[in-house]
Structures are given as structure tokens and as C-alpha cells.
Structure 1
């Protein structure tokens, strides 16, 4: 079953509100074996809405419509639906009773606009709205189902959960869809695609692969479509096992994992503690770790040493080191890591120093130059990176690179954790 979502409202098109409804509906539909084919946003304009409905009917089995069901003059969805389905508005006593009850509880007097909420197209099946006054409406035309719901998120979610999804489940039209996402770090998308090309080409026809790159990672989403969920899960698992043999050093997690969350779990399993010293990343590494519940088990603390004075006074970086090599150097990064490790008495320590930008770079050390130190009681890893000219991206990429170096060191020293 293919679905299209149509959102109605000028407020979406001008950026006044963000369309979170479509994201939620897309997620729920996939969980119920329904593929979202397209998402369309249209103006509060009669002909535009009619055109969107007609286009959706050509290729979709299910059309979900949100917005334009309020009591004011700019809410025209019900009138458009009457035109599209060649019917008229009629008073629905069940909806009127619901509206009356809600207004009475709120001690609000009924007016004509409130009463008009109980007017629905004569050819629709009314879907109860347990959280608001505007009902959902279910239509069937040829081989396509149309469902109109309020744009208010909690009302839409209520109607979807209590009315729409159960009806779709009973229809028997939905197939099984199974998604698994493999999280990859430390390899450019083009190189990754080249490395796994043969594996990707050999994927069964019912499994689709999507590359979803970001500045923090590349997500490889495998989506399997078929009749039996169990067999889909087994085949996707088998394919992921083959992928792990091709890029074992780059796969760090799955689905909703974060690199910091995965690395934090490794620290817990190793019974190890961590100290953080940050200059150019400004506390972002600590934030990434503490965003995960339970990080207090392994993270003892961190120091944001932005100035040379703090690097020397708090972390023990030598003035001679700064004078000889500059703040952005492997020597300073190492002394920062050693300083925070000694001060906090930790098993592992990380440090960053660099030029986040947009200015401050030189020919020798351009904007985006970052030195990272990751140390344990036995080993030292020092790496230089040259990122871009975007300050925000440099901070995020430096933080992620630091955490990944720590993850690699943990696995090297504790191979049983892999």
C-alpha cells in the first residue's frame, strides 16, 4: 500500500510552523507496513487543494490530509472535500454532541461557528476525535482511501492511533516493512559506496539501501518489503553480517545509537573512567557524553581551557610548549590530555585544540586545523585533522572525531568488548 500525505495551510509554506505531522505519520505508517510515496504541502486555496487530491489519487492507495478543519473562514477543507466527492455538508448529531459536551465542560457558550464543526460531507465516515471538536473523515473513491484530520498535532495523533491505523490494519492491504540502520563513521560517502558496491549490487530485490550522510556519520538504512516479517528480519540480519566483514572498523552502532552513547557503554563495560579537556570544541564533547543517561558512571568531568592561561594554570601545559609550538599543536594537545588525566585521576583522557574559524588561520595552520589527543595509562593517540571553514561544523566534526578515536583505543585495549 502506497500513501501520500497532504498538509494544508499557508503557515507551513511560509515557515511559520514546522510540519512535524508528516514525520510522525510517516513513521507510524511504516511501522504498519505502509510506504509513504509522497508528501505535499498546499495553500489554503480551493483549486490548489483540489489539484493535490486529484494528483494523489492517480498513484496513492491511501491519502492522509491534515489541516483546514477549524471553525473560521480560512478553514476550507470540508467544502473542498464536498466538491471533490460530489456531496454536501450535513449535520452529524454524534459530532454535535461531542462539541456540546466539550464546550460545556469548558463553560463556553455554543455559537454558530462551534455548531458548524458538526457539519461533515455526506459521503464520509466520521472518525471520532477524542481530544478535540473537529472530527476525522474517511472517504473511499475508486481504489483509493482518503482520510482528513485536524492539523493540531495531538488531535491528529489521537485520530490516527484510535481510528485510522486500526482500520488500516483490518483492511489486509498493508505489507510488512522492516528497517534496520547501520551507523558508519570515518569514511567518505564516495569511498564507502565503492567499498561496498559488490555487496550492494547483490542485495535481494526486496531490500532497498539508502545512504543518509550527515556531518556526524553516514547512516545506511536497509528497508525490506514483503509478506512475512520474520523472514525479512532474518535476511536483513544476514546482509548486515556480510557488511560487517567489509567495513568492521567503520561500523559503530545501529538505528538510534550515537557515537558518544556507544563509546560510553564501552567505558562502562571496561570499568574505566574518562576526563575531557577542550579548547576549540568548547564543551561539545562533554555535552555529547552527558546527553546519554548514566554518563556519570564513567565521566568524571571536563575542563574548557579556551585561553592559554587556563591551559597552563588548570591543565599544567608548559609555557615553553606554547611558545615553541603554539596552542594548536600536538604537543599542547598531549599536555592538555595528560593534565586532565592527572587532575581527575581517570583511566582515559581526551583533548582538543584547534582553529574553529571563521578567522584565526594561517598558511601553516588554516581554519579547520585541529589536534586531538586521546590517552590511556598505556597508550597515546595523536591526530591532526583539517576540516572546513564553517565554525559550527568544525566543532561538531572535531568532537565526533575525538570520540571515535577514544572508541578505537578502547577496542584496541579491550578486544573482548568488540
Structure 2
């Protein structure tokens, strides 16, 4: 089955807004075992819209058309579809009644512009919009079903999840069972991953899909009518081939994985950040329930803060510098015990380093990063070297990922320091917590 998307709007075509709706749809389709074959972007010009609808309806089986259903003069999707079909626009009584209720609830007097949203191509099937005033609809033209949704993201996503995806599955006549397993990785490039995986033999019905988004590379194993035992075998084979680079299963971020692990283990956490400036805390507190484990976070950007808040010694700063294994270890130990009203936290994370673009030295160039993780009675530290040609944002994003992965590994009881493909470890050390707090 051939699936396509048509995105409408001058602001999308001109690049004034980023089309996140299209990226989101592609990922949703992949998660349900479907692939988008083509995406077309067209401006708010009636003639162009009609031509695109007619052209693509000859090639695709299902087309999602996003945008152009609002009340303004440049919202032309319904009119263009009617023209492409050679039918008039007619008033949809069901949506007219819904609009009246919508207006009454908000104290809004409906205008001709509002009522325009109840005008659909003759023969169209209404698609409910439970959170907005612009309904969707679907029509059949040539070989394709064209399925129309508003462009407002929260309306569009709800309609796709609740109505478009079930429609796609029904049209596909799915007799088969489709299951998708996502493996999240860091520290490996797409070409290296593909080289490792695509030379292997996979069970019939298993398809591999890749998605890169900083700082992750996601592998999807799509199983169509594959017995459970064969799926497990395929997943185990992928994990064995990718090694330490696999950091989570069926999670979108490492923070989501760490969050769930900390909740499951009923553990406590403290965080000290210099290089990453609060990014680790920010990613974790985005999840409801993080207050159950996160005890405290300290952003100690200057050396004085490291010494006064985290008890990093002046001797350490003078002899080892703030970008050192010992400094990171003392930061982790210090933040774990900074609150004297509670016991030392089970885990702690600390980051320090040089994100650039300036501040590096010959001995410690830009991209030098030190991460420490306290796990119970020991602190594990490593220095990694990232390319000084990389951006400040890239260096910080990778540093957050490494820190969260070290924490993840510590929580599940495996050595916190891992081997990645393109991340160079310069040195490492393990310190007893008793020595650091002495």
C-alpha cells in the first residue's frame, strides 16, 4: 500500500515554519509498521492544489492532506478538492450543528468565515475534530483516498492517532500482526550500524528502519507475522551486534529510560552540572514523578561554586584543574551529600569540561569532557575527547547522553563506563566515596 502526505501552506513552502507535522507522521506510521512513500509541499494557490490532488491521486492509495481547513481566505483545501473532483461544496449539517455548539460554549457569534468550515466537497465523509472548529473529511479520487486534517498540531495529532491510523489499518486489510521494537543507541554512526546489521541473516518478516536525531540513532525492528520467539532472537541479535551503544528499548530518550529505572528501583539521585548547565536536570524533571527520586541539583559553573557548594578542594582545582577526574568525582560526592537532612543519595552525576568555542588548551582542548557517576560507595569517572570542530551544542548534548548512560548502567548493576564507536575515552578512574568525603 502506497502512503503519501501533502502539506499545504505558503509559510511551510517558504520555510517560515518547520513542518514538524510531517516528521511526526512519518515516525507514527513507521511505529505502526507502515512507511511513507512520498511527501509533497504546496502553497495556498487554488490551481496548484487542484493539480497536486489530481496528480497524486493517480499514484497513491492513501494521502493525508494537512492544513488549509481554517476560516481564512487562504484556507483552500476543501474548495480545491471539490474542484479536483468536479463537484460543488455543500454544507455539512452535522458539522454545522457542532460549530453552533462550539460557538455557544465560547460565547462566540459565528461569522461567515466560521461557517465556511462546514462546507465540504459533495460526497465527502466527515472526520471529527474533537478539539477544534475545523472538521476533517475524506474523499475517494481515482485510486486514492484523500484524508484531510487541520494543520494545528494538537488537533492534527489527535485526529491522526484516533482516526487516520485506524483508517489506514482498515484499508490495508491487515490480516497480519505488525509489531515494532525500537532500540535507542548513542556513540555509533548510521553507516557503521548498517554495516554491522545488514550483513546478518534476519528472520523472514523482519524489516530494519533507522532514524537519527541528536544525540541518538534509533533502530526499528518491524516484525510482520513473525512468531514471538523469532522476534526475541532478532532483537538479541541486534543488541549483540551493536554492543554498548544500545542504551534503551522502546524509549525515545535516555532520560525517559533513566527516569523509569529510578522509579522502579526506588532510588535517589543528586546532580552537579558545570559543562551541561542544568540540561540533565531539565531532561529528567520533564517527567511527572521525578520528585520521587531527584533530591537536589546544583549548577556549579564557576570554581568558587564548586568549592563552596560541593566541597571540591582548592588543592584539586590548583593541581588537577576543574576539568579533571578528581574534580568531577568530588563534585559527585559533594552533591550526593549536600543536604545534611537526608542520607547520601544512592546515585549522583557530575559533569565538567570545555564546550568551547574558546577556553581550551593544548593539554585540554575544546571538547574535553569529564563525567562522574556515584553508585552507592564508589564514584566512577571518565574523560572523553570530542572533536573541537563540533559545536558547543553538540558537545553538551553528547555529554548529557554519556552522563545519563553511565547512570543507567550503574542503576542496572553493570560497569558504568562503556565502549562506544566514535567517542574516545582519554582516561578513567574509580574513587571510594569515603576518600572523597574525608
TM-score normalized with structure 1 length: 0.81
Displacement after TM superposition at 1:62 (Å): 0.8
Change (3 A) 1:48 1:374: same
Report Cα offsets for 1:209-243 as digits up to 9, x if no partner. Answer: 1232343332111123x4x4xx3655433300222
Equivalent residue for 1:340?
335
Equivalent residue for 1:361?
360
1:242-257 equivalences in 2 (<5 Å)? 242-256=237-251
Moved more, 30-39 or 209-218: 30-39
Equivalent pair of 1:178/1:232 in contact (CA under 8 Å): no
Equivalent pair of 1:276/1:337 in contact (CA under 8 Å): yes
Equivalent residue for 1:275?
270
Equivalent residue for 2:10?
10
CA distance in 1, matches of 2:109, 2:22: 34
Change (3 A) 1:50 1:181: same
CA distance in 1, matches of 2:192, 2:165: 41
2:282 to 287, 294, 297: 287
Displacement after TM superposition at 1:196 (Å): 3.5
Equivalent residue for 2:41?
41
The answer as to 2:325 corresponding to 1:330 is yes
Equivalent residue for 1:395?
396
CA distance in 2, matches of 1:349, 1:93: 61
Displacement after TM superposition at 1:115 (Å): 5.2
Change (3 A) 1:237 1:167: same
Unaligned stretches of 5+ residues in structure 2 = 417-438
Equivalent pair of 1:270/1:414 in contact (CA under 8 Å): no
Change (3 A) 1:94 1:33: same
Q: Supply the RMSD in Å over aligned alpha carbons.
A: 3.5
Report Cα offsets for 1:113-163 as digits up to 9, x if no partner. Answer: 555544433353444556655544432233221233443455556665776
Equivalent pair of 1:140/1:146 in contact (CA under 8 Å): yes
Equivalent residue for 1:209?
208
Unaligned stretches of 5+ residues in structure 1 = none
CA distance in 1, matches of 2:106, 2:272: 55
1:364 match: secondary structure: coil
1:404 match: secondary structure: helix
Matched residue count: 409
Equivalent pair of 1:355/1:370 in contact (CA under 8 Å): yes
TM-score normalized with structure 2 length: 0.78
Equivalent residue for 2:313?
318
Structure 1 residue ranges (4+ consecutive) displaced by more than 6 angstroms after TM superposition: none
Displacement after TM superposition at 1:182 (Å): 0.7
Equivalent pair of 2:61/2:143 in contact (CA under 8 Å): yes
Displacement after TM superposition at 1:172 (Å): 5.6
The answer as to 2:378 corresponding to 1:370 is no
Displacement after TM superposition at 1:46 (Å): 2.5
1:408 match: secondary structure: helix
